Amino acid sequence: MATITLPSGSASQRVPAGRRIDWGQPFVYLVALICIGITVVPIAYVILGGFRTTGQLAAKPNGLPDPWVLDNYAAVLSSPSFWTQVGNSTIAALVTTIGVVLLGVMAAFVIARYEFRGRGTIYTLFTAGLLFPLSVAILPLYLLLQNLGLLGSIIGVIIPQIAFALPTTIVILVPFLRAIPEELEDAASIDGSSRVGFFWRILLPLSSPGLVTVGVLAFVGSWNGYLLPLLVLNDPAAYTLPLGVQAFSTQYSQNTALVLAFTSLAMLPALIFFTLAERRIVGGLSGAVKG
C-alpha cells in the first residue's frame, strides 16, 4: 500500500517545486553563464587566436579573427612532429589504461572478495600510495629507469604511470567489486563456475561502470602527464603532446598565433574524450565517494 501512496504524494509535491524554481531561474542562468564565461573564454581565445595572424594579435589583442586565417592550423596539421606526438601520447595513454585497469581490477578482486591473512596489509599498502606523489619518488625512479635502460623510451613512461595510477584505481574499484552481492557468487558456484570463472564472466561485466571510470582517469592522467615524460623522454621524436606543446611554444615564441593553433589542436582530443566520458566520470566518482 505504501508503494501506491508514495508516488502520488511526491507527484503532488513536484508542482510547487516546479513553480518555486521558476522565479529563481534567470538568476541561476546568469550565474551559470558567468561561470562558463570564466572557464571557457580563455579557451575560446586560444582556439580563435589560432585563426588570426600574429600581426592581428599584436594590433588588437582582443579582436575576433578578421579575416579568418587557416594557415596556422594547416601548418600544424601538416607537420609530421605534431602527428608523431599525437601518436606517442595515444600509445602511452592506451597501454597505460589497459595496464592499470587489468592489474587494478585483478588486485581489487582479491582485496574485495578473498579472505586471507595480509589482505588488510595489501589494501593499506595501496591506499598509502595515494600519499606518494610522483615528485617524491622521481629522483630514484629516474635512476632506476636509467639502470633498466628505459630512459628515452615510451615504456619508461608507461610502467611508472601504471604503478602510480594503481592506488586510485584500487581504492575506487574495491567498493565496486565488494558491492556485487554474495548471492551471485553462490549461484555461480552452484552452477559449477570456479572463482576465476566468476571473476571473468560475472564480476567484470557487472563492474564495468567502475572499470570505465578508472580507465578514463588513467587515460586522462597519462594524456596530460608532464613530469615523467619531461624527465624520461629526451628525444623530440619520442615526445608526448604536453612536451610537444611546451617545446613548440618555446621554439615559436615569436609566432603567437601558430602557438595558439598548436595548443588548440593539442587540447582537442582531451576535450572530445571528456565530453563523451563526462557522465562516466561523475558516476564513477560518486561510487567512489559514497563507498
Q: Is position 140 an interface residue for other proteins (rule: CB under 8 A)? A: yes
Cα–Cα distance, 254 to 100 (Å, whole number): 40
Q: Select from 19-27, 64-72, 73-81, 204-212 the region that touches other proteins (CB under 8 A).
A: 19-27
Counting residues that bind other proteins (by CB under 8 A) gives 117
Joined together, the cell numbers standing for residue 239 give 615526445
> In this complex, which beta carbon is closest to other proteins, that of residue 25 or of residue 78?
25
Using the rule CB under 8 A, which residue among 77, 125, 187, 237 binds other proteins? 125
Q: Kindly state the cell numbers that stand for 108.
A: 581489487
Which of 40/237 has CB closer to other proteins?
A: 40
Least distance between other proteins and beta carbon 221 (Å): 10
H or E segment at 69? none
Of the two residues 75 and 267, which places its CB atom closer to other proteins in the complex? 267
- Residue from 93, 217, 243, 261 touching other proteins (CB under 8 A): that is 243
Q: Which of 241, 255, 261, 280 binds other proteins (CB under 8 A)?
A: 241
CA angle, 231 then 102 then 142, to 5°: 15
User: Residue 74: how many CA atoms within 13 Å on its side-chain side?
Assistant: 6
Nearer to other proteins, 10 or 208 (CB): 10
* Residue 51 to residue 248: CA distance in whole angstroms: 17
> Which one of 51, 73, 82, 164 is in contact with other proteins (CB under 8 A)?
164
If the CB atoms of residues 46 and 94 are measured against other proteins, the closer one turns out to be 46
Q: Mark 211-240 with x for binding to other proteins (rule: CB under 8 A) and - for no binding.
A: ---------x--xxxxx---x---------
Establish if 42 lies at the interface with other proteins (CB under 8 A).
Answer: yes
Q: Give the shortest CB-232-to-other proteins separation in angstroms.
A: 12
Q: What is the DSSP string of 208-246?
A: HHHHHHHHHHHHHHHHH--HHHHHH--SGGG--HHHHHH
CB of 162 to other proteins, least distance (A): 6
How would DSSP label each residue in 121-178?
Answer: HHHHHHHHGGG--HHHHHHHHHHHHHHTT-TTSTHHHHHHHHHHHHHHHHHHHHHHHH
